[in-house]
Chains A and B, each alone.
Chain A
Amino acid sequence: MAFDRQQVEQFLYHEADLMDEHRYDEWLALWADDALYWVPTGRDDINPAREISLIYDDHVRLQVRIARLKSGFAHAQEPKSRMRRLVSNILLTEEANGEITASSNFLLAELRRGKQDIFAGRTIHRLRPQNDSFKLVSKKVLLVNNNEPIDNLTFLI
């Protein structure tokens, strides 16, 4: 393999830390310009041209998401969620163009307003090797509860 598995794992763990710790700018810097951050709702495989998602961010909207979170007026994150997540069951595939698809499971404990919620799901990262690391080209998050009412998903998932 042309890539180092440990390097990919480090990337995923690092991303998880950035999300857990609300390190917004560092997280945003992981993304490639042709980014797609996608969290479907209803079921895992929807047609985004005809169906809504919880999140379907291109890079412009990612910037807006981060700008909003940093504004001090994103009340649903004031106070912020306290979070820790585990990332595991990592499977890697090298694509023909040299990019890497990483599928992993996560389990997230999120605490806010005295209420702790558990989120879980499978995440599919698409990574583009660049210099010593990767750019995050796309990320699709398949939430276990994506067809249930969710009270607050304004943190980074």
Chain B
Amino acid sequence: MKPQHDLDYEALVKEDRVHISLYTDPTVFSDEMDKIFHRGWVYVGHQGEVPQPGDFRLKRIGLQPVIMVRDQAGTVQLLLNRCRHRGATVCQEKQGNTRSFRCMYHGWTYQTDGALSGVPGMDAYGDEFQREDLSLAKVPRVASYRGFIFGSLSPAGITLEEHLGRAAAELDLFVGLSEAEDVEVVSGTHQYSYQANWKLAAENSMDGYHPMITHASFGQALMDKIQNSPSPEQRREDRDFASFRGATIDMGNGHVMLDYKMRIYDSLNGDPTPAVRAMTPEGQAHLEELTRRFGHQRAANMLREGGTHTFIFPNLILIGIQMRVLQPLRADYTEVCLYPTLLKWLAPEVNTIRLRSHEAFFGSASFGGPDDSEIFERIQDGCAVQLEPWQLLSRGLHRQRHENGMILGEMADEVTQRGIWRQWKKVMTQGTGVARTTRQRTGNGVARKRG
């Protein structure tokens, strides 16, 4: 569905500010769904969520319900959840394992690869009725990188590799403590919602300016031993868990990151040595295993640098051990799903520590995330103020530097928010480089358009 009037995004998105209507206007929202989510590459899920044939998860691409299912041959399929007869959804459970999907209106049955295999009363149809033409619709383009599965509802456009660009290296880092097939996504999800626009969570996830204030209560809690097995020797008095060290990086195409230069297993401790977790027996075992696999120097760097802290435009966030997926549903309502990951080769106790650490900061009952959501709702309320209707994005604009095609800034600079909005504006004004008609399908023309 296209909006009936043309919005002047050039005027509404400036380099140093954006107009608040972009968070509130339902017309803008449906335009975003159309141009960003229903045409471009969107993250759908990870292969580790559906390890066995028949495993499925209900997802969405934009507003459209999609079944991510590993078919009997072992291929992960993205099927639109809508019966080809008269349109009922064929899958009702959020996740599970099945041999087929049966529509409970008239009983049409689909295999896990989408093929229509059963139609009660076939004899009522004429010769022109071909079961082969009535498979569940498939997401036109599906591509995977290191186990991360993306879909595009447009049949043509740039490749996933072109879309990811430099951000692919951050996906490498996410699985970098392991091989892709070693990432287990079987630990459940934290699901939460907030009454505000989806872009607020995108911007906030890459905001190095807010933790000291928004998460002040966590900082205080942190000063007392929040970790499961705190090591008194390592307790620090300064609250630099959200220190201003590190960098903000705009990698292009809307992909941005915070480079905290901190460790994954002790993100609560600013000490630069990698040995903190190794103070516990479990941590020691982990470090030894890393060292055995990768050598001492690389193991130390892995623990020190930790996981990545990256936003992949438009809906995937990778933080430490966590994949986070944004699900816009209305201009002022968003759902978020967090997937903590395990690594197959880690000692069970270390995997458990990953989960307990995750619970401290993330989820609806945690000590971190809900305070962010509270701020999103305060911003959405604030958008009702019509005077001076701008949000500022100018921090560090005068001092950002360009290196190797990327833009770098200090930790609390708004390089990342500007990077997200630059891509947003590009897609909303020019399209994703995705052809509206197949005649534009040639790879070169599309790539050139992306520039």
Contacts and interface: CB of A to CB of B under 8 A. Distances in A.
Contacts of B336: 149
B375 A55 contact: no
B187 interface: yes
B371 A42 contact: no
A76 B217 CA distance: 11
B374 interface: yes
A148 B94 CA distance: 10
B214 A151 contact: no
A53 interface: yes
B370 A154 contact: yes
A153 B365 contact: yes
A41 interface: yes
Interface stretch (A13-21, A24-32, A57-65, A127-135): A57-65
Contacts of A68: 217-218, 220-221, 367
A69 B57 CA distance: 36
B164 to A, nearest CB: 27
A152 B364 contact: yes
Contact of A67 (B194, B221, B371, B377): B221
Interface string A134-150: 00000000000001111
Interface string A58-84: 101101110111011111101000000
B193 A75 contact: no
A157 interface: yes
**What is the interface of chain B mostly: helix, strand, loop, or mixed?**
mixed
A80 B373 CA distance: 15
Contacts of B25: none
A149 B335 contact: yes
A58 B217 CA distance: 19
A49 interface: yes
Contacts of A72: 217
Interface string B351-385: 11001101110011101001101110100000000
Interface stretch (B166-174, B222-230, B290-298): B222-230
Contacts of B225: 60, 64
Q: Main SS of chain A's interface residues?
A: loop
A76 B364 CA distance: 10
A75 B214 contact: yes
A52 interface: yes
Contact of B359 (A50, A52, A63, A152): A52
A8 interface: no
A149 B191 contact: yes
Nearest to A148: B191
B367 A64 contact: yes
Contact of A54 (B216, B340, B352, B364): B364
Contact of B221 (A42, A71, A75, A153): A71
Nearest to A156: B365
Interface string B191-233: 1111100000000000000000010111011001110101000
B224 A41 contact: no
Greatest chain B CB density within 10 A among A48, A51, A52 is at: A52
Interface in A68-124: 68-69, 71-76, 78, 113, 115
Interface string B90-110: 000010000000000000000
Nearest to B226: A64
B400 interface: no
Contact of B365 (A48, A54, A71): A54
A42 B226 CA distance: 24
B227 to A, nearest CB: 9
B217 A71 contact: yes
Contacts of A71: 216-217, 220-221
B342 interface: yes
Nearest to A76: B370
B348 interface: yes
A68 B356 CA distance: 17
A153 B188 contact: no
B423 interface: no
A116 to B, nearest CB: 14
Contacts of A75: 214, 217, 371, 374-375
Contacts of B348: 49-50
B363 A151 contact: no
A41 B367 contact: no
B217 A41 contact: no
A36 interface: no
Contact of B188 (A49, A51, A74, A149): A51
B367 A56 contact: no
Q: Which of A39, A60, A76 gathers most chain B CB within 10 Å?
A: A76
A150 B189 contact: no
Given A41-B188, A75-B374, A64 B335 contact: no
A63 B222 CA distance: 11
A44 to B, nearest CB: 12
Contact of B360 (A61, A74, A150): A61
23 contacts: A39-B365, A41-B188, A49-B351, A50-B186, A50-B348, A50-B355, A52-B189, A52-B340, A52-B358, A54-B363, A55-B359, A55-B365, A64-B225, A64-B367, A73-B220, A78-B374, A113-B377, A147-B94, A150-B192, A150-B364, A151-B193, A151-B195, A153-B365
The 5 A-B pairs with the shortest beta carbon distances in the complex, nearest first, are: A76-B370, A149-B193, A73-B216, A73-B217, A153-B365
